[in-house]
Amino acid sequence: MTGILDSFGRSINYLRISVTDRCNLRCLYCMPPEGVPQMPHSEILSYEEIRTVVRAAAELGINRIRLTGGEPLVRAELPKLIKMLSQMEGIEELSLTTNGTVLKKYALELKQAGLSRVNVSLDTLKPDKFRYITRLGELKTVLEDIEAAKEAGFEPVKINTVVMRGMNDDEILDFAKMTYKEECHVRFIELMPFKGAAEFVPSIELRQHISLLGKLEPCESITGNGPATYYRLAGAKGAIGFISPLTETSFCSRCNRMRLTPDGKLRPCLLGEDEVDLKTPLRNNASMEELKSLILKAVASKPEHHHLEGGNIRVVNRKMSQIGG
């Protein structure tokens, strides 16, 4: 089985799990400076509860899992969860998205526990700007941690860059040039137009700018679960990806994912308000068949597309750190 078919014929085989709403940074587009009210630990799914959800999802055809946050590595003993999930029948790939600030400390342990791949969020290569965007972080630490991930055997490491006009759009070529030196995949992401966020930059504008370095050739061979379209510059070892939820008309037609929030709500769409509660049934000893039925209900309610046409501002009832992006 390759996934669960939704109401529009899309195969849903990918589950993003936010293991915590906590983060050690305060990025401009994700959190206010003071952070957001934290969920009580009692409201967050335990690792055993997450394992049960993943087992039900895997039996239905979900075969790819990504752990997110907040910052997933601030949750205690995360390698324990990774080991649980990596050994589960039906799960073919287990990956992690991190801000990279503590990755060096855990990289080898994560690899040994069975983690397949790592994506690192990095929006600038300038130390002063990094401090400004993240409010708390140090660029040097993240760059060192990316190298530590490579040394631990995570190849290639993918870099996720959210592009903001007037903030970091002057660094696009610097990021693109990173792909010449090593097998590093850089993905440029259109900024979701949440209230208070900066202005997004269309992917087509980024591609035109990068073409100053040479022709971008389509690249179909990059491993991954997400919606990026990949290209490669002549002579480059790595690839350049574009994630274009605002400007690519076919973006939602290729969606293959669901999201599980830290407090056990299954969200069919990042930008929708619909959620299916899995935590309450879990804690009331729901059977595996009951959990599967709830997952199928969430998949059936997945909308055909989001409603961000024209860069419309959305006020979503959760911050990105509480959804898992």
Distance CA 188, CA 168 (A): 11
| Structure token digits, residue 84 | 């649980």
Distance CA 322, CA 104 (A): 24
Distance CA 96, CA 107 (A): 11
Q: What pLDDT, in 10s, does the model give residues 55-71?
A: 999 999 999 999 999 99
The confidence score (pLDDT) of residue 198 equals 79
pLDDT score of 195 more than 80: no
Q: What pLDDT, in 10s, does the model give residues 84-113?
A: 999 999 999 999 999 999 999 999 999 999
Q: pLDDT band for position 320 (50/70/90)?
A: low
The confidence score (pLDDT) of residue 34 equals 80
Q: pLDDT band for position 258 (50/70/90)?
A: very high
User: What's the domain count of the chain?
Assistant: 1
Nearest to 299 by CA among 63, 60, 59, 12: 12
Domain that holds residue 42: 4-323
Distance CA 71, CA 241 (A): 23
What average pLDDT does range 233-242 have in this prediction?
96
The confidence score (pLDDT) of residue 220 equals 77
Per-position DSSP letters for 225-246, written without gaps between them: SSS-EEEEETT-SS-EEEE-TT
pLDDT score of 10 more than 70: yes
- Whichever domain contains 104, its CATH number is 3.20.20.70
What average pLDDT does range 228-242 have in this prediction?
95
Distances in Å between the alpha carbon of 31 and those of 27, 79, 97? 6, 26, 17
Helices then strands, counting H and E runs in the chain, come out as 10, 14
Q: pLDDT band for position 322 (50/70/90)?
A: low
Give SS3 for 179: helix
**Could you tell me what percent of the chain has a pLDDT over 70?**
91
Do residues 163 and 171 touch, judged by C-beta distance below 8 A? Answer: no
What average pLDDT does range 262-269 have in this prediction?
96
Q: pLDDT band for position 21 (50/70/90)?
A: very high
Do residues 48 and 278 touch, judged by C-beta distance below 8 A? Answer: no
User: How many other β-carbons are positioned within 10 Å of the β-carbon of residue 307?
Assistant: 11
Q: Given the structure tokens 């040479």, which residue do they identify?
A: 214
Distance CA 322, CA 45 (A): 13
96 - beta bridge partners?
67, 118
pLDDT score of 1 more than 50: no
**Helices 103-113 and 139-151: crossing angle, nearest 10°?**
20
Sign for the CA dihedral angle at 225, 289, 115, 29 comes to positive
The confidence score (pLDDT) of residue 264 equals 98
pTM: 0.93
Nearest to 162 by CA among 204, 205, 120, 123: 123
